[in-house]
Amino acid sequence: MLLRQARALGSLPERLGSLSGRLGRGFAAQAAPQDDSVEVFIDGKAVHVPKGASVIQACDAAGIDIPRFCYHPKLSIAGNCRMCLVEMEKSPKPVASCAMPVMPGMKVTTNSERVKKAREGVMELLLINHPLDCPICDQGGECDLQDQAMMFGSDRSRFTEVKRGVEDKSLGPLVKTVMTRCIHCTRCVRFSTEIAGVPELGVTGRGKDAEIGTYVDKLLTSEISGNVIDICPVGALTAKPSAFTYRNWELKSTESVDVSDALGSNVRIDSRGTEVIRVVPRPNDAVNEEWISDKARFQYDGLRTQRLTTPFVKGPDGALEPATWADALAVAAGALRGVDPSAVRAIAGRVADTEAMVALKDLVNRLGSSATYTDSNGAGLSADLRCSYVMNSSIEGIDEADAVLLVGTNTRWEAPVLNARLRKGWLNGLRVASVGPHVDLTFPADHFGDSPDELAAMKAGKGPGGAWYKEVFQGAKRPLVIVGAGVHQRADGAAVMRAVADLCAGTNALTPDWVGLNVLQDTAARTAALDVGFVPGPGALDKPAKVVYLLGSDDFTEADVPADAFVIYQGHTGERGAARADVVLPGAAYTEKTATWVNTEGRAQRSKAAVALAGGAREDWKIVRALSEMAGAQLPYDSVSGMRARLQEVAPHLARVDAFEAPLWSPQGWGAGTKDKVDGKRPLASHVENFYQTDIISRTSKTMARCVQARAADEMQATA
């Protein structure tokens, strides 16, 4: 019955063809023997793999698919599903390939009749209590249990008893549970414990009474909890916001980049028609490995709320009225032409793309102004030297580090996936300390207060921080410092950064082959803005603005936008910026345009348009290009290729997509020339007070609002 229902859900050749990619990613087989490699024979084929590798990894390297449920390349070995059985020479019975290390000369058979019969038996046992839910299960059509039952299982079952049922668990507004479908692979348990560092899931009971749950009813409080949906091989854990809304064969998949933080996690946007249905991670070990944050995964519904689809112009009564594109651009162009050029100001928002910022900067410069900046202030940053505003050792450099000092940052909220990488390092012996907010990072870290004066005290060897500095940081081979927005958004940011550089001087944090000073940016647009020079020129902000151009900016201050200023708002969501505007120009959301994004390590990445533009919205750089023509300052490019050529002209490294380029180190980039003094009385604090609502998309997301409410209720219950 299960097999007949599974066949009805999709084409067998298509689904089995994609099984190999979903079974897991191993390492490539080595072409020639090396000192640290082992030669094994898989179905008669010689393969060289690293010492300590498992048999299942050797099979993956040989290009042979081994069925598995509990094994995952990023998790510890559990060995409890027994689906990956193989036959090994001189072994009296089949062995679990995920838990068996390779040995020199080992001979493994993966397709013998004995192995096939063993897999059929394991699959029969797994299906004993699994319900016949395929037609109503959200996992249907992309379910590992379906695919492997069809490929490795039998066509009949001997089971006639009553199936057991398990009560569903309430894990919050993001993860939907149907625990009767659970096959106890424990992937979710291991993810919560090892990767997320919030061990809220576990196994209770034994044998037929075993269940996975939270023991005491509570929410999943990890910021990356949604990843359990991806790693669950059955339909026990699925996405609650999109439940019962799609089948996977209805979706069109598009490669994109997450804009909810500065990490630039690689994502895949699945859409149907003009609607985004879900966002899932796209593996990239150099950036986000296989994980994304809950905000990246679920905030997309905010793009449907308060959406701007037509231009607006403020009427005589002060209310915004719908207008044609020609009329709206004419009014905006008239405002730009009618004032002193030095009184024109442009502010980019947190999710502005690189092309739009370059076009807007070119327009403002041609009009005679250099007052361009982002609404996330960075007083302590200089755009002259890239080493002052990127992660100089790269995100992957965290894997090499043996000591990390966090300064003015809460990585758990500012970059949850990067925090998971830090936790992975801690599990492997990484020593972590922090100067700044005292928060739960999901792993132990020495905390030395929140005063920036502690940096000088550490350098002088005073107090507990000084002892840690001498014992751990100075003795480390690859020490690393991560400076967050809590530092570079301060008025004395340059002075604090100089103190950090002084702390690293004379240690292995600054060597010819390792620069361990890193800046963790807070928005998707910030690094790109600095790369293309979207910063104010000398004296550009001395005069009050008469015309303010808001490029998706909704986090501006009153000083940025004077009460008497004419405001042009270009963006995709009507919030604070649109409410203040005299002219509204509807732009494209990140899901609707092909654009370039630069993450916190300076890596340029490109996203592709997943859905069509909403209503009368237009791509942002094209809006600026059309406005420039009407304003009498026509930009010299009107095609994507021309725009990309201009991008390469401004910052050549932006043409080298998905490549990390370590910038040249200079102490001048870290406040060496500043005369400012550190304000020791002002504590280093995290600027993120609410992880779930940090930008225009997440603030208008109903799903993120439910997360805020659920977290508040959970905290109240915990303290009651």
Look at residue 193 and tell me whether its pLDDT is greater than 70. Answer: yes
Residue 669 backbone dihedrals phi, psi, to 5 degrees:
-75, -15
Least confident of 29-43, 96-110, 555-569: 29-43
- In angstroms and rounded to an integer, the radius of gyration of the C-alpha atoms of the chain is 28
Model confidence band, residue 719 (pLDDT cutoffs 50, 70, 90): confident
Residue 673 pLDDT: 78
Residue 152 pLDDT: 93
Cβ neighbours of residue 417 closer than 8 Å, sequence gap 6 or more: 224, 263, 265, 288, 289, 291, 292, 293
Model confidence band, residue 7 (pLDDT cutoffs 50, 70, 90): very low
Residue 430 has, within 13 A of its CA and on its CB side, a CA count of 28
C-beta of residue 453 within 8 angstroms of C-beta of residue 678 = yes
C-beta of residue 224 within 8 angstroms of C-beta of residue 292 = yes
pLDDT in tens, 586-600: 999 999 999 999 999
Look at residue 20 and tell me whether its pLDDT is greater than 60. Answer: no
Query: Mean pLDDT, to the nearest integer, of 33-56?
Result: 89
End-to-end alpha carbon distance in the chain = 49
Q: Is 719 left (phi over 0), alpha (psi -120 to 50) or beta?
A: alpha
Model confidence band, residue 381 (pLDDT cutoffs 50, 70, 90): low
Query: Mean pLDDT, to the nearest integer, of 284-298?
Result: 97
Look at residue 287 and tell me whether its pLDDT is greater than 90. Answer: yes
pLDDT in tens, 126-153: 999 999 999 999 999 999 999 999 999 9
Look at residue 509 and tell me whether its pLDDT is greater than 70. Answer: yes
Q: What is the mean pLDDT of the chain?
A: 92
DSSP annotation string for 143-160: -HHHHHHHHHS-S-----
Percentage with pLDDT > 70 across the chain: 94
Query: Mean pLDDT, to the nearest integer, of 52-66?
Result: 95
Amino acid 631 reads: A
State how far Cα 315 lies from the chain centre: 42
Q: Is 609 left (phi over 0), alpha (psi -120 to 50) or beta?
A: beta
What is the rounded distance in angstroms from the CA atom of residue 205 to the CA atom of residue 164? 14
For the chain, list the domains and their CATH numbers.
2-152 (3.10.20.740), 329-381+538-655 (3.40.50.740), 391-520 (3.40.228.10)
Can you say whether the dihedral through the CA atoms of 627, 630, 633, 639 is positive or negative? positive
Q: Which of 86, 78, 119, 81 is nearest to 102 (CA)?
A: 86
pLDDT in tens, 647-686: 999 999 999 999 999 999 998 888 887 888 999 999 998 8
Query: Mean pLDDT, to the nearest integer, of 174-184?
Result: 96
Look at residue 52 and tell me whether its pLDDT is greater than 70. Answer: yes
C-beta of residue 690 within 8 angstroms of C-beta of residue 284 = no
Percentage with pLDDT > 90 across the chain: 84
Residue 523 has what DSSP assignment?
S
- Give the max Cα distance, the chain: 90
3-state secondary structure of 584: strand
Least confident of 21-30, 174-183, 443-452: 21-30
Q: CA geometry: angle at 310 spanning 308 and 313, to 5°?
A: 100
Look at residue 330 and tell me whether its pLDDT is greater than 70. Answer: yes
Least confident of 5-14, 236-245, 414-423: 5-14
Residue 36 pLDDT: 81
Output the six-digit token pair for 214: 């939270």
Look at residue 190 and tell me whether its pLDDT is greater than 50. Answer: yes
Output the six-digit token pair for 88: 């090994």
The string over 231-251, giving b where at least 16 C-beta atoms fall within 10 Å of a residue's C-beta and e elsewhere, is bbbbbbbbbbbbeeebebeeb
Model confidence band, residue 1 (pLDDT cutoffs 50, 70, 90): very low
Residue 35 pLDDT: 66
What is the rounded distance in angstroms from the CA atom of residue 365 to the CA atom of residue 604? 24
DSSP annotation string for 116-142: HHHHHHHHHHHTSS--S-GGG-TTTTS
Look at residue 437 and tell me whether its pLDDT is greater than 80. Answer: yes
What is the rounded distance in angstroms from the CA atom of residue 230 to the CA atom of residue 291? 9
Look at residue 25 and tell me whether its pLDDT is greater than 70. Answer: no
What is the rounded distance in angstroms from the CA atom of residue 716 to the CA atom of residue 720? 6
Q: Is 699 left (phi over 0), alpha (psi -120 to 50) or beta?
A: alpha
Look at residue 21 and tell me whether its pLDDT is greater than 60. Answer: no
CB atoms within 10 A of CB 456: 16
Bridge partners of residue 434, in order along the sequence: 406, 447
